[in-house]
C-alpha cells in the first residue's frame, strides 16, 4: 500500500500511511517518482528528504517505499565514470534529458550490456569468505578490478569459470548465494575490515610544502580550510592529478558549477604522470553542484566514501577529495531547520560534530577481509565564511583530522602557489612518518625539515623587529636568516602548477633542493664569522643556481646538484678580503 504526501516543505516531504517504513529506506515520491530517503518517523508519518527538486509536488500524490536503504552499485565500470550525488551517470542522463537533469529521471549506474573478460584466481571447491578475491577484470589500462565475495557471504565456491560476463550474469555460487561481478552496499554503513593499521607511509603529492613540511599519511585525514579564492579547489585538483594513490575519488559537494565544469572538462584530457595513460583510467568523479537539490549534497559524500572503501577492499590505496564539506554541512543545516530540530551553534544541527567524525573515521589503512592491505585517505576542503576557522564546521573538522593546511588569501593574491601558510599549518603525522623518510629519502631529512621550519619561524620574529629598527640595523646573522627564509619561501615552497617540470617534484629532488638551501645557510654562517657580510653573500651566483633547481628535469638534477654543492662548499672558506 502506497502512502500519500501530507505536507511539502522544500526538500522535506511528510508522508502519511506509508506501509512498513524504516529509517533510511529509499522511497519514490509523487507522480514523477522523485528519489527520497526516510530520515524521521513520527507515529504514522514518515519524514522524507528528497534528492530532487520538489517544485510542483502536491499533497495527496502517492509515495512508494522501495524497502531498501540508499545504496550504491559497485562493480567494473565505476572508474572513468561521472556521477551525481546519488550515483546517476551524468552522461547517460544528458543523453535522455539534455543539459539539465529532468525530475524523476533514473539511469543504471553501471552498463548492463557491456561484457567484461573475467579471469578466476581461485579453484572451484575452495572455501571462501566475505571479502575474498575470486577473480579479476581488466577495468581500465591502470586498474585491475578484483572481484570480491560480498562481505556477508561465505562457503564453498562452485561453477566458477573464465569468460565474458555482464555485471548481471552469475559467475559462481558460494553455497546457495549467486555471485556476480557487481554488488550493492548501503552508503551509510562502513564496509567491514579486519582491523585498522598504524599509518607509516606518506601520500606523496609532489607538492613541496606538503611533502616536506605538512605530510599526510596514506590512510590519513586532512582538512584544507580557507576563504573564498584562496585556492582550495586548485590544491585538490593538484592532489588528484599527482598524488601516488592508485585510485582517485573526487567529490564536488555543492561546489560552483563553473569549478566542476573545469574538473569535468580537464580531467578526461590529463595524462597520468607515471604511466602516460589517461588520468580518468584511475578516477571516479561525483558532481553535485551548488544549484542542484541541497539534500543530494549529503548523499554525495556518502556515495564517494563507499566507492573509495570498495577499491580499498581490493587492496588499493585510494585518495578521496571532498570539495567542500562546508556545503555538505549547510545541507544538514537546511534539512535540520525544516525538521524544526533544536539548532546548535550558528544554526547547525547539534549532531554536526558526530556527522563529520563519522565521515572522516571511515578513512584509514586496513587489513581487508580478503587478506590484503588497502587505504582510504580523506582530504576535505572547508569554506569558512570570511576565512574564520573558529566557526563550527572548521572546528569540528580540525578536531578529527590530523593535518591542517591553512590557506592564506594574501599568498593566493600574490600568486604564491600552493597558498598554504607555513606558520599556521600543522601535520600530526610528521613524527610517525620520520622513519619512512629516513629509510626512503635520507637520514638527515627530519633534521633538514626542523631546521627549515625553525628558519621560517625565526623570520617571522625578525620581521617584527625590522618594523621597529629597520633592516640595516639588524645583526649580520639575522640578515642571513632573512635571506635563507626568502629562499625557502620563493625557491622551494612556491611552485608553478602550469610548469611541466615544477608542477610535480619527486622526494629525491625535494631533498636535494632543501639540502642545498640549508647548506648555503650553514656555509654562509661560517663566512660571516670571517668578516664576510650578508649582503656580499646574497650577491653570490650560487643563489640563482639554487633558484633554478626547481626547473631542472629529473635526469639533470644530479649533475646540477653536484655543481651547486661545489660552489656552496667554497663559501665556508671565504675571507672578507676575498668577498670584496
* pLDDT attached to residue 265: 75
pLDDT range class, residue 137, cuts 50, 70, 90: very high
pLDDT range class, residue 576, cuts 50, 70, 90: low
| Last residue of one domain, picked from the residues 368, 403, 428 | 428
How many structural domains is the chain composed of? 4
In this structure, the answer to whether residues 61 and 164 fall within a common structural domain is no
| Last residue of one domain, picked from the residues 12, 47, 69 | 69
| Last residue of one domain, picked from the residues 12, 42, 69 | 69
Q: Could you tell me the three cell numbers for 163?
A: 569468460
Structural domain of residue 138, as residue ranges?
112-181
Residue 50 phi/psi, 5-degree rounding, is: -100, 135
Q: Mean pLDDT over residues 188-205, rounded?
A: 96
Q: How far lies 424's CA from each of 225, 399, 482, in Å?
A: 11, 16, 19
In this structure, the answer to whether residues 140 and 56 fall within a common structural domain is no
Give residue-wise pLDDT tens across range 314-372: 999 999 999 888 888 988 998 999 888 899 999 999 999 999 999 999 999 999 999 99
Supply the pTM of this predicted model.
0.93
Is residue 436 in a domain?
Answer: no
Is residue 250 in a domain?
Answer: yes
In this structure, the answer to whether residues 229 and 324 fall within a common structural domain is yes
Is residue 465 in a domain?
Answer: yes
Alpha helices in 361-444 (DSSP H): 392-400, 409-413, 430-440
Q: Which range has the worst mean pLDDT, 292-296, 460-464, 511-515, 532-536? A: 292-296
- Rounded Cα gap, residues 543 and 235, in angstroms: 28
Is residue 187 in a domain?
Answer: no
Cβ contact 374:312 at 8 Å: yes
CATH of the domain at 561: 1.10.1140.10
Give residue-wise pLDDT tens across range 82-109: 898 889 888 887 767 666 676 777 889 9
- pLDDT of 1 above 80: no
Is residue 102 in a domain?
Answer: no
Cβ contact 38:27 at 8 Å: yes
Q: Could you tell me the three cell numbers for 15?
A: 508522508
Is residue 88 in a domain?
Answer: no
Q: Is 11 helix (H, G, I), strand (E, B) or coil?
A: coil
In this structure, the answer to whether residues 416 and 540 fall within a common structural domain is no
Q: Which range has the worst mean pLDDT, 10-14, 78-82, 376-380, 383-387? A: 383-387
In this structure, the answer to whether residues 147 and 65 fall within a common structural domain is no
In this structure, the answer to whether residues 560 and 487 fall within a common structural domain is yes
CATH of the domain at 16: 2.40.30.20
Neighbours of 187 (CB within 10 A): 24
Q: Which range has the worst mean pLDDT, 129-133, 294-298, 483-487? A: 294-298
- Rounded Cα gap, residues 147 and 509, in angstroms: 38
- Rounded Cα gap, residues 200 and 197, in angstroms: 9
In this structure, the answer to whether residues 537 and 481 fall within a common structural domain is yes
- pLDDT of 577 above 60: no
Q: Which range has the worst mean pLDDT, 211-220, 251-260, 352-361? A: 251-260
- Rounded Cα gap, residues 440 and 454, in angstroms: 24
In this structure, the answer to whether residues 227 and 330 fall within a common structural domain is yes
In this structure, the answer to whether residues 410 and 550 fall within a common structural domain is no
Residue 192, Cβ density class (10 Å: 0-12 exposed, 13-18 middle, ≥19 buried): middle
In this structure, the answer to whether residues 252 and 326 fall within a common structural domain is yes
**Percent of all residues in the chain with a pLDDT value above 70, rounded to a whole number:** 96
CATH of the domain at 169: 2.40.50.100
- Rounded Cα gap, residues 442 and 510, in angstroms: 11
- pLDDT of 30 above 70: yes
* pLDDT attached to residue 579: 53
CATH of the domain at 249: 3.40.50.300
Is residue 161 in a domain?
Answer: yes
| Cβ-defined contacts of 130-135 (< 8 Å, 24+) | 130/154, 130/192, 130/369, 131/192, 131/313, 131/368, 131/369, 131/370, 132/369, 132/370, 132/371, 133/314, 133/315, 133/370, 133/372, 134/160, 134/172, 134/179, 135/160, 135/162, 135/171
Give residue-wise pLDDT tens across range 271-293: 777 778 888 899 999 988 777 77
In this structure, the answer to whether residues 268 and 369 fall within a common structural domain is yes
Q: Supply the mean pLDDT for the chain.
A: 90
Q: Mean pLDDT over residues 121-144, rounded?
A: 94
Is residue 92 in a domain?
Answer: no
* pLDDT attached to residue 233: 78
In this structure, the answer to whether residues 392 and 538 fall within a common structural domain is no
* pLDDT attached to residue 37: 93
Comparison of pLDDT for 410 and 295, the residue scoring more: 410
Cβ contact 546:487 at 8 Å: yes
Cβ contact 448:518 at 8 Å: yes
Q: Could you tell me the three cell numbers for 566?
A: 661545489
Handedness of CA 66, 68, 70, 71 (dihedral sign): negative
Amino acid at each position: 500500500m502506497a502512502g500519500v504526501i501530507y505536507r511539502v516543505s522544500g526538500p522535506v516531504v511528510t508522508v502519511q500511511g506509508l506501509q512498513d517504513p524504516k529509517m533510511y529506506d529509499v522511497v519514490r515520491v509523487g507522480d514523477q517518482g522523485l528519489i527520497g530517503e526516510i530520515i524521521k518517523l513520527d507515529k504514522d508519518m514518515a519524514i522524507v528528504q528528497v534528492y530532487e527538486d520538489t517544485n510542483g509536488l502536491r499533497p495527496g500524490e502517492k509515495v512508494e517505499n522501495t524497502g531498501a536503504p540508499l545504496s550504491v552499485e559497485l562493480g567494473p565500470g565505476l572508474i572513468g565514470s561521472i556521477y551525481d550525488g546519488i550515483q546517476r551517470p551524468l552522461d547517460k542522463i544528458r543523453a535522455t534529458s539534455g543539459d539539465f537533469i529532468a525530475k524523476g529521471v533514473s539511469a543504471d549506474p553501471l552498463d548492463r550490456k557491456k561484457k567484461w573478460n573475467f579471469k578466476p584466481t581461485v579453484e572451484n571447491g575452495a572455501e571462501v569468505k566475505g571479502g575474498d578475491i575470486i577473480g579479476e577484470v581488466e577495468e581500465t589500462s591502470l586498474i585491475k578490478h578484483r572481484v570480491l565475495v560480498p562481505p556477508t557471504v561465505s562457503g564453498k565456491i562452485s561453477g566458477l569459470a573464465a569468460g565474458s560476463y555482464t555485471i548481471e550474469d552469475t559467475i559462481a555460487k558460494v553455497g546457495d548465494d549467486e555471485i556476480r561481478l557487481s554488488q550493492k552496499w548501503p552508503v551509510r554503513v562502513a564496509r567491514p575490515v579486519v582491523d585498522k593499521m598504524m599509518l607509516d607511509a606518506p601520500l606523496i603529492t609532489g607538492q613541496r610544502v606538503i611533502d616536506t613540511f605538512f605530510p599526510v599519511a596514506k590512510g590519513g585525514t586532512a582538512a584544507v580550510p580557507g576563504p573564498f579564492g584562496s585556492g582550495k579547489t586548485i590544491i585538490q585538483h593538484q592532489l588528484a592529478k599527482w598524488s601516488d594513490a592508485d585510485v582517485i575519488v573526487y567529490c564536488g559537494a555543492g561546489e560552483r558549477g563553473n569549478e566542476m565544469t573545469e574538473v569535468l572538462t580537464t580531467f578526461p584530457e590529463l595524462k597520468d604522470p607515471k604511466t602516460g595513460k589517461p588520468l580518468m583510467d584511475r578516477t571516479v568523479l561525483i558532481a553535485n553542484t551548488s544549484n542542484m537539490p541541497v539534500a543530494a549534497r549529503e548523499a554525495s559524500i556518502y556515495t564517494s566514501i563507499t566507492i573509495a572503501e570498495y577499491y580499498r577492499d581490493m587492496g588499493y590505496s585510494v585518495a578521496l577529495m571532498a570539495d567542500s564539506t562546508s556545503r555538505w554541512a549547510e545541507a544538514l543545516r537546511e534539512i535540520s531547520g525544516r525538521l524544526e530540530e533544536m539548532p546548535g551553534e550558528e544554526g547547525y544541527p547539534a549532531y554536526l560534530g558526530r556527522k563529520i567524525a563519522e565521515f572522516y573515521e571511515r578513512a584509514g589503512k586496513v587489513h581487508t577481509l580478503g587478506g590484503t592491505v588497502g587505504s582510504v585517505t580523506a582530504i576535505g576542503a572547508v569554506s569558512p565564511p570570511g576565512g574564520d576557522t573558529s566557526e563550527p564546521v572548521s572546528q569540528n573538522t580540525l578536531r578529527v583530522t590530523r593535518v591542517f593546511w591553512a590557506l592564506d588569501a594574501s599568498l593566493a593574491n600574490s600568486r604564491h602557489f600552493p597558498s598554504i601558510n607555513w606558520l599556521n599549518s600543522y601535520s600530526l603525522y610528521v613524527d610517525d612518518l620520520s622513519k619512512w623518510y629516513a629509510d626512503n629519502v635520507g637520514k638527515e631529512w627530519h633534521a633538514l625539515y626542523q631546521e627549515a621550519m625553525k628558519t621560517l619561524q625565526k623570520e617571522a620574529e625578525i620581521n617584527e623587529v625590522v618594523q621597529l629598527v629597520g633592516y640595516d640595523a639588524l645583526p649580520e646573522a639575522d640578515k642571513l636568516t632573512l635571506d635563507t627564509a626568502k629562499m625557502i619561501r620563493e625557491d622551494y615552497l612556491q611552485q608553478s602548477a602550469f610548469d611541466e617540470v615544477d608542477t610535480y617534484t619527486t622526494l629525491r629532488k625535494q631533498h636535494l633542493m632543501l639540502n642545498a638551501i640549508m647548506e648555503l645557510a650553514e656555509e654562509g654562517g661560517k663566512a660571516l664569522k670571517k668578516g664576510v657580510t650578508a649582503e656580499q653573500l646574497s650577491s653570490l651566483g650560487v643563489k640563482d643556481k639554487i633558484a633554478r633547481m626547481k626547473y631542472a628535469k629529473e635526469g639533470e638534477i644530479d649533475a646540477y646538484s653536484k655543481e651547486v654543492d661545489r660552489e656552496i662548499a667554497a663559501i665556508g672558506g671565504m675571507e672578507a678580503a676575498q668577498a670584496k
